Structure 1
Amino acid sequence: MLTDVAGNWLGTITFGSVKLRIGFEISQAETAGYTGFMRSIDQSAIHIPISEVILGRNSVRVEIDAIRSAYEGTPTADGRAIVGNWLQHGTATPLVMERVDRLPEIIRPQTPKRPFPYGEEDVVYENASASVRIAGTLTLPEGNGPFPAVLLIVGSGPLDRDETVFFHKPFLVLADHLTRRGIAVLRVDKRGVGQTTGDFAEATIHDLADDVLAGVGYLKSRREIDPNHIGLLGHSEGGVVGPIAASRSADVAFLVMLAGLGQNNGDIIIFQKLLEARSHGAGDERLALMRAWYEGLYPLVREDTDSATAEKKIRALHATLTDEEKEAVGWPDSHLDDAIADQLRRHWRCDVRHDPRATLMKVRCPVLTLNGEKDMQVPAKENLAIIADALKAGGNPDFAVHEFPGLNHGFQTAHTQTASDEETISPVVLQTISDWLIARTSVPRP
């Protein structure tokens, strides 16, 4: 029986051909029980809070509510390992956790190193309407200002202010580049992540847009910032949130979308699921079945009905599949309850209902949209075309779209579908962004 689970634990989980290291940092709570954090070592340095650690007579369960996941296993006799399963979305994946002295850290070459030739300040402000306390970092160029400013909006998932993924810190790299060129940058922890309060799991894209506009208001209150040149830069989901905020406020002077969406999120997920299935050898028949299933499912999720009615319709659609077809589309009977619950989450239904094109037609400020040709999450050509068409149809007089050959979703060079660990953001993309911003703000050209 394991009597003390405090310490650092490390294991490797396998999803198809992908291997990811999972780490737990667990300590004794001040009163009773345990507290701690979970980290996906190869995806992010973010510390995701552990909700509860439950020790049984011969079992350990670690619950991580923020990502709707848990780990459950049996300790070895010496207490140095736990043999169990990672539990997520109704699926149990084998995972052995072992005690280690410390969890690994990875340093990427492009990550800026202090001291910086500009000011750096930790800031806190409120989204009063949602009682959310937003924490971030403001970097200010040398000089007295006032400076143009850009607020960075992270992508999907529980991301910190640096948008840390696989130990790359793209927003830190971007903030460093822009600040050195005379543009102030505010980057913040997402709602419910890091030092920002709120509920990450329940936040919709509209809630996140409220947080963004609170950030714009904060920047306007700073004497170092030019209130007429405050803009937004969003990546991936941030490229959906940014246009929502820009369409709602004349205070947004410009907008940059990195791998932003023109398509509805349901269409994006279908693209991703089919791409993943094809990479694992799925044939045309299975791909066609999967497409038909999701094209039938998402309208039911999208319909403006109560959850109970939507659930009945989804169950009825599911009942039209044979057992073999249910397995083929990834919706076996054993996972049905969890799968339906995932589809009916408030923020997901909001995503599926949202029409990025209609929102973009309302954006009047200058817009720069960039995508990578090898983006395997947001198809570049399709989305760039829709975005350009929407901005043109809405009468926006100043917009530009660029597709970068050989770059992936993170704007890293990817000669295949994977990127080099050495590059966080392509220097060409950094230069394109800063040149465009300088041309539309009061920053003198170097």
Structure 2
Amino acid sequence: MDLIRRSLPAAALALGLAAIPATANATVAPAPATANATVAPAPANAAARSDAAEPVPAVPPDLRSVEVTFRGEGGLTFHGSVLSPATAEPARPGIVLIHGAGTGTPRTKLMGEAVEFARRGMSVLIYDKRSVGYSLFHRSYSQLADDALGAVAALRSQPGVDPAKVGIWGLSEGGWVAPIAASRSKDVAFVVLVGANGLPPLRQQTWAVAAGLRKAGVSGSLVDRTELNLYRAIADGGMFPEPYYDPEPTIAAVRQPVLAIWGTHDLLTPPLESPPVFARALQKGGNGNYTFRFIPDADHAAHQTPDGGVTRLPALAPGYADMVGSWVADVTNGRPPTAGPAGREPVQDSFTVPVIPPAWWESAPVQLAMLILFVVAFAAYPLTALVRRLRGGSRAPVTRAARLVSAGGFAAVLGSFSYVFYLVMSGGKLATTGPVLAGRPVIWLVLQALAAVSAVATVRTALAWRRARGSVPRGERVRLGLLLAGGLAFIPWAVYWGLLLP
């Protein structure tokens, strides 16, 4: 059954959008030579396990960098850099930066944040994200949390860093990972979250793509039903990691001070719905040491954006780094953080909807079986006619409507899946739909018309066959029977997928 579930054709393509981008790279000046430090000796059975190291990043002349290695979950060796002020104060705080989604993301992806945080008196550890055991189809937030704790241990051992003042910062997917790490270890002194999501991953992802479609002017069944059902099938097929992970219990287990930040133009995480979830969970766990901040004119990663969150500029939003630096200084020096939210309310044009696992008849194996039925039923009809012609024989069809069933159904099935997969790949932030007419992409309208033609032609073919049943040869009955089986199954299938709905 697992093999069948994983066979849902092309579902892997749609999952690519689940990898929410992390922050953009920052341009920095060349750095002086850096020292090496090896942390946490490897277990004997893990000596050969190591992710490839990315090139050592350059840092500006007002900072210094130390290269470190450490062990993550499973004994995997990680490579990172610790950035500190060139004239760093002793007993300074430290912060480990946890990436957003993406396999093997290089540490330089977070270089902009690392540089700015280091300039505010912290030692900042950035590391190359794991590629071993992490892919579009498989990932574990628990595993990533253990990797982060390995980085915490590495930073706590650095000269000049106060081990009691080392915290973690998580972006996007890291907003699920960081609370797990913090709930597991008292070595984490504080937690900073950016673009964090208090909802299950699948619910967040369906919202992000649907919001991108709506931003492109799309409404109706395509955005309300088709996109949602596609992601449910993808998750059921095992192609969407951790789809129903509930972060609330873990957030409730966090005892450290928390700073959570959302850009007012976050298009990838619902910025209005997530803060109340975090507040409710933290209060449930008895943690009142949290601060929420909304950064004006900032995107998902608290970077500047010129177009409402669609485009991410390399520069951090004004005031963001200062906010993090001063908050960390306060909490690590015993001053309680300011509770509650502050800043302009974020923009969220639509709200998320619950995403429940599919029933058996909606499941990935059933959808795969339906696709096979449609391809065989709709393609066999013209192929049989072609074979007959090549053999020198032909037979008048019972009704010409049968050709419409075959052609319309085949085009509607393959066309709709191809188009919807394309949309979910481009649907985050702003979908590329092609021309839109009355809230429907023209391509979708054409596919809906083909589906309607096939449905009507199926009924006409069934009636014509019934009238001429006694005169239809056996071979033609088999051919028509297969076609009608596909056509009759296609009608409820097309309703489910929104092809026969407004």
Answer whether TM exceeds 0.5 for this pair: yes
Give the number of the structure whose residues are more often helix, by fraction: 2
2:81 to 137, 140, 145: 137
Indicate if the aligned counterparts of 1:412 and 1:420 stay in contact, CA closer than 8 A: no
1:236 Cα offset (Å)? 0.3
2:317 matched to 1:401? Answer: no
1:159 Cα offset (Å)? 5.2
- Deviations 1:268-313, CA, capped at 9 Å, x for gaps: 0110221233344432233222366268658xx5xxxxxxxxxxxx
2:129 matched to 1:190? Answer: yes
Pairwise mapping of residues 226-305 of structure 1 onto structure 2 (< 5 A)?
Answer: 226-290=162-226, 293=229, 301=235
Determine what percentage of the aligned residue pairs are the same residue: 26
2:167 matched to 1:216? Answer: no
1:150 to 85, 91, 95: 95
- Deviations 1:372-405, CA, capped at 9 Å, x for gaps: 1211100111111211221122111210111223
TM-score of the two chains, using structure 1 as the length reference: 0.59
Partner residue, 1:200:
134
Evaluate the alpha carbon distance shift between residue 251 and residue 342 of structure 1 in structure 2; reply closer, same or farther with a 3 A threshold: same
How far apart, CA to CA, are the structure 1 residues paired with 2:304 and 2:88? Answer: 35
Partner residue, 1:437:
328
How far apart, CA to CA, are the structure 2 residues paired with 1:138 and 1:443? Answer: 25
Pairwise mapping of residues 15-414 of structure 1 onto structure 2 (< 5 A)?
Answer: 89=12, 111-114=27-30, 115-127=60-72, 129-141=73-85, 142-143=87-88, 145-158=90-103, 160-162=105-107, 164=109, 171-192=110-131, 198-201=132-135, 202-290=138-226, 293=229, 301=235, 340-343=237-240, 348=241, 351-414=242-305
How many residues are aligned here? 286
Aligned to 1:229, the other structure's residue is in SS state strand
1:419 Cα offset (Å)? 5.7
Evaluate the alpha carbon distance shift between residue 88 and residue 435 of structure 1 in structure 2; reply closer, same or farther with a 3 A threshold: same
How far apart, CA to CA, are the structure 2 residues paired with 1:187 and 1:411? Answer: 18
- Deviations 1:238-263, CA, capped at 9 Å, x for gaps: 11100010011111100000001111
1:176 Cα offset (Å)? 1.4
1:147 Cα offset (Å)? 1.9
How far apart, CA to CA, are the structure 1 residues paired with 2:246 and 2:256? Answer: 19
Aligned to 1:125, the other structure's residue is in SS state strand
How far apart, CA to CA, are the structure 1 residues paired with 2:305 and 2:152? Answer: 34
1:371 Cα offset (Å)? 0.5
Give the number of the structure whose residues are more often strand, by fraction: 1
Evaluate the alpha carbon distance shift between residue 112 and residue 90 of structure 1 in structure 2; reply closer, same or farther with a 3 A threshold: closer
How far apart, CA to CA, are the structure 1 residues paired with 2:158 and 2:284? Answer: 35
Partner residue, 1:326:
none
How far apart, CA to CA, are the structure 1 residues paired with 2:25 and 2:141? Answer: 32
Evaluate the alpha carbon distance shift between residue 439 and residue 159 of structure 1 in structure 2; reply closer, same or farther with a 3 A threshold: farther
Indicate if the aligned counterparts of 2:94 and 2:167 stay in contact, CA closer than 8 A: yes
- Deviations 1:112-149, CA, capped at 9 Å, x for gaps: 3234223211111122x512110010112324623211
Partner residue, 1:328:
none
1:264 Cα offset (Å)? 0.9
Greater Cα offset, 143-152 or 375-384: 143-152
1:163 Cα offset (Å)? 5.5
Indicate if the aligned counterparts of 2:266 and 2:309 stay in contact, CA closer than 8 A: no
How far apart, CA to CA, are the structure 1 residues paired with 2:108 and 2:268? Answer: 17
What amino acid maps onto 1:146 in structure 2? A
What amino acid maps onto 1:355 in structure 2? D
- Deviations 1:16-62, CA, capped at 9 Å, x for gaps: xxxxxxxxxxxxxxxxxxxxxxxxxxxxxxxxxxxxxxxxxxxxxxx
Structure number with the bigger relative contact order (C-alpha 8 A, sep ≥ 6) is 2
Evaluate the alpha carbon distance shift between residue 109 and residue 289 of structure 1 in structure 2; reply closer, same or farther with a 3 A threshold: closer
Evaluate the alpha carbon distance shift between residue 292 and residue 157 of structure 1 in structure 2; reply closer, same or farther with a 3 A threshold: closer
Report runs of 4+ in structure 1 exceeding 6 Å deviation.
none
Evaluate the alpha carbon distance shift between residue 426 and residue 162 of structure 1 in structure 2; reply closer, same or farther with a 3 A threshold: farther
Evaluate the alpha carbon distance shift between residue 411 and residue 358 of structure 1 in structure 2; reply closer, same or farther with a 3 A threshold: same
How far apart, CA to CA, are the structure 1 residues paired with 2:153 and 2:291? Answer: 27
TM-score of the two chains, using structure 2 as the length reference: 0.52
Partner residue, 2:379:
none
Indicate if the aligned counterparts of 1:134 and 1:188 stay in contact, CA closer than 8 A: yes
Indicate if the aligned counterparts of 1:219 and 1:225 stay in contact, CA closer than 8 A: yes
- Deviations 1:337-391, CA, capped at 9 Å, x for gaps: xxx3524xxxx0xx22321111110000000000012111001111112112211
Q: In structure 1, list runs of 5 or more residues that go unmatched.
A: 1-86, 92-107, 165-170, 193-197, 302-313, 315-339
How far apart, CA to CA, are the structure 1 residues paired with 2:307 and 2:232? Answer: 33
Indicate if the aligned counterparts of 2:120 and 2:322 stay in contact, CA closer than 8 A: no
How far apart, CA to CA, are the structure 1 residues paired with 2:286 and 2:274? Answer: 18
Indicate if the aligned counterparts of 2:179 and 2:191 stay in contact, CA closer than 8 A: yes
- Deviations 1:158-200, CA, capped at 9 Å, x for gaps: 3534453xxxxxx2122112222211110001012xxxxx333
How far apart, CA to CA, are the structure 2 residues paired with 1:422 and 1:392? Answer: 35
Q: In structure 2, list runs of 5 or more residues that go unmatched.
A: 1-9, 15-23, 31-59, 336-502
Indicate if the aligned counterparts of 2:190 and 2:258 stay in contact, CA closer than 8 A: yes
